Structure 1
Amino acid sequence: MSAGVVDEHADAAAGAAAGPVLEITGLSVGVRGEDGEREVVSGLSLSLRRGETLCIAGESGSGKSMTALAIMRLLPQPAGRIAAGTIRLLDKDGSAVELTALGERRMRDIRGDRIAMIFQEPMTSLNPVLSIGRQLTESIEAHTGLSHAEAQRRAVEALKAVRISEAESRLKQFPHELSGGMRQRVMIAMALALEPDVLIADEPTTALDVTVQGEVLELLRDLQRQHGTSVILITHDMGVVAEMADRVIVMRNGRMVEEGATADIFARPRAAYTQELLAAVPRIGAGAGRRASGEPDEMAGKDKVAVVNDLHVRFDLHGGFFGRVTRRVHAVEGVSFSIAPNETLALVGESGCGKSTTAKALAGLVPYTGGVTIGGRELSGLGGDARKAVRRDVQMVFQDPYASLDPRMRVGDLVAEPLLIHGIGSRQERRERVAALFERVGLSAAQMELYPHEFSGGQRQRICIARALALRPKLIIADESVSALDVSVQARVLDLLKELQREFGVAYLFISHDMAVVENISDRVAVMYLGQIVEIGSRDQVFSNPRHPYTRRLIEAVPVPDPSRRRTRFARLDREIPSATRRIGETVPKLLLKDFGGGHLAAVAD
């Protein structure tokens, strides 16, 4: 065992000896709806020790976030209420404050000062019309007697503590001017500026790229070591749980089903639900049953479903008094690849690397230069009817199924809509095809009459898959199609995609930043960085022998769902991820791809 791990366990033991900082006994939370009040948290009891990281794990609807909101006394009003139980915040001298009995004014004093919370999506948590500095200093001034100048100094210190470069100048920036990882670091700085006793982090890394996720987790560890803060980490990512937690509570349907030390939960889970949850976690190296590394070459003679040749997508940025074009975003620069029938090509990389823009170009949704051929037909130069016919062969499944479905339409009509637009079949024939699709994706024909809000997230994604299959396309583009799903639902949707590929022979362009998922579903992998492909090869080639440093960094940053392999340190980014935006006239250096054999290509220096 490394010294870092020893130190970490010693810190946890010291925290245990210091006693609890938060105690919850018999907590029940009720939410009133159209059918009356229902319990979303039932009889929950837990204790959080000083300096400890307690993870609350479980799927959507398990009551994790409602527990956090109850602690903060931020339940949705007037529907939500604490129906029973106690929540006690303890001082080091043993005195306690009963949070459920406090008035709103007293509770406002405790929020931020003694208990702080980091929410999942920083863009919705930060006020878009106020500068970062204004939001930080307001929080500090509200809880301290510091002057504005002193509050600003502390705000700068907080930004430096979370390793934000040029902290003074960042105070003048607005949330939209920062990357997702930077915004999340601002949220952490805001939460820790007052050095609270308890920090509640609700899915703080779910929307982040894997490298940025590692940076944020390492930051939480550092700040915990420095300030002795107790952390409640809420997540459905069992890799994050294994990396971060001292203890784990597993929740389902508002109830605790299991509690224990992290090593015990992973090695000897007692509850059947915990066992199912751990079994569904995708693991790098567990992609059994996929094609061997040499087999993509066997597809060379096949007609390709899609061929992309020297694709470029650029967006001009206007600025100045006259709105002239001053800069240009080189979103996609010289990308080339092909996809064969019955093949899954995964496109991976961090946010802003050009993955989704490439997908939109294939679907004909953004202007581009270069060649895009679908089913043997080149898209550029096609007229309206011909382009519409080609688009039948390419369908997309998006990340958020609820945003993809019109809430005013029945789901059966939504799946039938592409058939109606393309004039395929009679009304009865369309209904029969939709019913067959519902059955094929694991839903019943009777559910065709329901509306999107009457389904779970995983069911809604199945409806989106059925809609994509309605026109019997040659290529389905799955753009982060499982990243928002719980791990067990994610596993079922991935299994469904594999089954449908075997049955219909459809090709997939699978876009994701989750390397473990990619390793389990892909035949070939293309790694993108700043609009260009830096490595491409079979799944086994890329994961077993990554040639480009960026590919290695992506793979190494994936949290391993095994506490015995917990890292003492995550790899830190030595600088912010560069931008694909350049001045007009500034050229982008073209990468040279070296052939390492068997179709494995990786970028090398000029």
Structure 2
Amino acid sequence: MTSERRHPPAVRSDVVLAVEGLTVVVAGEDGPRPVVSNLSFALKRGETLSIAGESGSGKSMTSLAIMGLLPKPGARVAGGSVRLGESELTAMSEGEMRRVRGNRIAMIFQEPMTSLNPVLSIGRQLGEAIMAHESIGRAEAKRRALDALQAVRIPDAEGRLKQYPHELSGGMRQRVMIAMAIALRPDVLIADEPTTALDGTVQGEVLELLRDLQKELGTALILITHDMGVVAEMADRVIVMRHGRMVEKGPVGDIFSAPKNAYTRELLAAVPRIGGGDGRVGTRAPMSRGRAVPVVEVDGLDVTFDVKGGFLSKVEAHVHAVAGVSFQIMPGETLSLVGESGCGKSTTAKALAGLVPYRGDILVGGSNMAGHTGAETKALRRDVQMIFQDPFASLDPRMRVGDLVAEPMVIHAIAGREERRQRVAGLFERVGLSPDQMDRYPHEFSGGQRQRICIARALALRPKLIIADESVSALDVSVQARVLRLLRELQSEFGIAYLFISHDMAVVENVSDRVAVMYLGQIVEAGTRDQIFADPRHPYTRRLIAAVPQPDPARRRPAFERSVSEIPSPVRRVGDPPRRVRLVDVGAGHLVAAPT
């Protein structure tokens, strides 16, 4: 492999970034290994180029190579050219690149909380980023920072300058990152999975914001994502990558309507779609409540957290995270809880799993979780297991995965050592893994394989209910499709009920029997899947569904309806009652919050 970099002739004036034959290698046990191979493309002013592909395809390494941010000393550009206008970026020193980054080319990272300094205010971070490139005073930098926050439509922008990252929501933090990226009006903006972790409505607003800023500033955008709905919504041209190589490129309409590469076709086929898709379950008749005991029955669930302040840490207010939530889940049924971050859906799940204190009644198999001895409660908890969003954080890296799957059986004193090992081997086979892999550690598996291990662990106690809390949101679409297919097979085989928690409405529409929509800790609409998606009655439900990007460029939205205000705070002063909604049956069990 040559280490020489080709310097192509000067690019046309309408091309702001030209990548030619880019090759990136990383150090491996057997020598340098290419993670990006011979990649070429040109980006025009005001254009949106999407680089799509699954984890490990090389799309993020491409962006880091362009920015000169490859992890040292393990990765390096081994060949090719990256030209920004007339400047060859691969030949620049680190000092020269620092003057280019943020000024002429900027980047928005996937997780804003890890990109923002937690001990510096938003205003100071924005101001320092501006002053690093321009010789201006603090007062002017503050004014420019305020202008940038207002440009990304952050309410009360002046007040936000004094706040710290932890005081902002995920969507607001992502807007701050965009404000920081556009503050110096760069020629090229690289957005690396900028909306993957965001709720659907926030995602829609962020995408609309990027589109508006592009029109106003003429910025060229490289959008890196594995979300093909976002690609269809935003891109002018698309590059599809796999294993570090470009397998297909072309206009967005051609890629979606007539993909030529088999991998591109597989990628598009795995995308969940409202009303269709490869893994959509058929409509099932609701089980009669009179013929079976609900697996779980929740009645009047309240979860409250204290807000303390002052010298004596006196309780000054309460956060009503969950307020008066009631629902049932029948054997073999999937109930989905949906809503934006902070609506209370994950707190509801934690209450069911016994991870947070609560008021109200939770009945498992007809037995109330409250009022039992420790041993009785422990026995009831066997029937409710949980699959978390991040499988790597859920698995102890120091334990072998076979021991991790067997651990619940050890805790509940089920079977002997040899029988447990046989059961674990059977679980591994059932979730599509080999028993030979039982002695490996979590880091030796891919993300999808780790999630399968978590599913095997949840199945170890043969529960009646599995809570899947954002269990597929971080997975690539093809891996996501395989995991969802596995969950459906297990449900059919064992009659397991699922409480499926997600902000991805397309996935919810594909897997659910019934859906409950949460807002500010309360259920504002509930019904069968067809009732919720075919006839949404509550404005918030309609907004969630409208926010889903369609994986079809021909159905691209002209504009996304922006929220007129932020979601109200769930914090109440001591003595103030929580908000309560009254659900009204509008027909056939379709419940909708009555207007207040």
> What TM-score does the superposition give when structure 2 sets the normalisation length?
0.97
d(CA) in 2 for partners of 1:558, 1:273: 24
Equivalences for 1:486-505 in 2 at 5 Å? 486-505=476-495
**TM alignment of 1:167-246, pairs within 5 A:** 167-246=157-236
- Please say if residues 349 and 529 of structure 1, whose CA atoms lie closer than 8 Å, have aligned partners that are also in contact: yes
Q: Partners in 2 of 1:352 and 1:68 — Cα distance? A: 32
**Aligned equivalent of 2:585:** 595
Q: Is the 8 A contact 2:404 2:457 kept in 1?
A: yes
Choose which of 60, 63, 66 in structure 1 pairs with 2:58: 63
Give the structure 1 partner of residue 7 of structure 2.
none
**How far apart in 1 are the matches of 2:280 and 2:94?**
57
> Aligned AA for 1:85?
G
Matching residue of 2:412? 422
Whether the 8 Å CA contact 2:59–2:241 is kept in 1: the answer is yes
Aligned equivalents of 2:146, 2:28: Cα separation in 1: 44
Q: State the partner residue of 1:82.
A: 77
In structure 1, distance between residues paired with 2:570 and 2:29? 49
CA deviation after TM superposition for structure 1 residue 299, in Å: 4.5
Match of 1:351 in 2: 341
Whole-Å Cα distance in 1 between the matches of residues 181 and 276 of structure 2?
Answer: 38
The amino acid across from 1:24 in the alignment is V
Contact 1:297 1:599 in 2 (8 A): no
| Alpha-carbon distance between aligned partners in 1 of 2:410 and 2:64, rounded to the nearest angstrom | 45
Amino acid corresponding to residue 349 of structure 1 in structure 2: G
Moved >4 Å (runs of 4+): none
Alignment of 1:277-356 (within 5 A): 277-286=267-276, 290=281, 292=283, 295-296=285-286, 298-356=288-346
CA apart distance, 1:296: 1.5
**1:477-513 per-position Cα deviation (integer Å, ceiling 9, x unaligned):** 0000000000000000000000000001000000000
In 1: Cα distance, 2:447 partner to 2:281 partner: 27
Per-residue displacement from partner, 1:103-133 (whole Å, max 9, x unpaired)? 1111100000000000000000000000001
Alignment check: 8 A CA contact 1:250 1:258 kept: yes
User: How far apart, CA to CA, are the structure 1 residues paired with 2:421 and 2:501?
Assistant: 31
Pairwise CA distance, 1:300: 4.4
Q: 1:397: which partner in 2?
A: 387
Matched residue pairs, number? Answer: 585
SS at match of 1:258: strand
Of residues 521, 529, 550 in structure 1, which corresponds to 2:519?
Answer: 529
Q: 1:52 aligns with which of 47, 53, 56?
A: 47
48-57 or 571-580, which moves further after superposition? 571-580
> 1:392–1:297: structure 2 CA closer, same or farther, 3 Å change rule?
closer
Matches within 5 A, 1:361-376: 361-376=351-366
Give distance in 2, aligned partners of 1:184 and 1:402.
24
* Conservation of the 8 A alpha-carbon contact between 2:465 and 2:499: yes
8 Å Cα contact 2:472-2:480 kept in structure 1: yes
**Aligned to 2:257, which of 252, 267, 281?**
267
Given that 2:323 and 2:579 are in contact with CA atoms closer than 8 Å, whether structure 1 keeps it comes out as no
Please report how far the alpha carbon of residue 167 of structure 1 lies from its aligned counterpart in structure 2 after TM superposition. 1.3
Offset at 1:283?
Answer: 0.1
CA distance, structure 1, for counterparts of residue 327 and residue 592 of structure 2: 13
Q: Secondary structure at the match of 2:177?
A: helix
1 CA distance for matches of 2:533 and 2:175? Answer: 30
Aligned equivalent of 2:424: 434
| CA RMSD between the two structures | 1.2
Q: Aligned with 1:33: secondary structure?
A: coil
What's the offset of the Cα at 1:237? 0.4
Structure 2 distance, partners of 1:24, 1:450, is 40
CA distance in structure 2 between the partners assigned to 1:444 and 1:290 by the alignment? 27
For each residue in 1:126-151, what CA deviation from the matched residue of structure 2 results, as whole angstroms up to 9, or x when unmatched? 00000001100001011011111111
Is the 8 Å Cα contact of residues 131 and 137 (structure 2) preserved in structure 1? yes
Match of 2:111 in 1: 121
Q: Which whole-Å CA distance do the structure 1 matches of 2:561 and 2:165 have between them?
A: 26
Quote the Cα distance in structure 1 between the aligned partners of 2:400 and 2:489.
Answer: 26
Structure 1 spans left out of the alignment, 5+ residues: 1-15, 91-95
If the length of structure 1 is used for normalisation, what is the TM-score?
0.95
Indicate if the aligned counterparts of 1:297 and 1:598 stay in contact, CA closer than 8 A.
Answer: no
Which residue of 1 is the match for residue 100 of structure 2? 110
Percent identical: 71
Which amino acid in 1 is paired with 2:210? L
* Stretches of structure 2 lacking an aligned partner (at least 5 in a row): 1-10
Paired AA for residue 84 in structure 1 = G
Say if 2:374 is the partner of 1:379: no
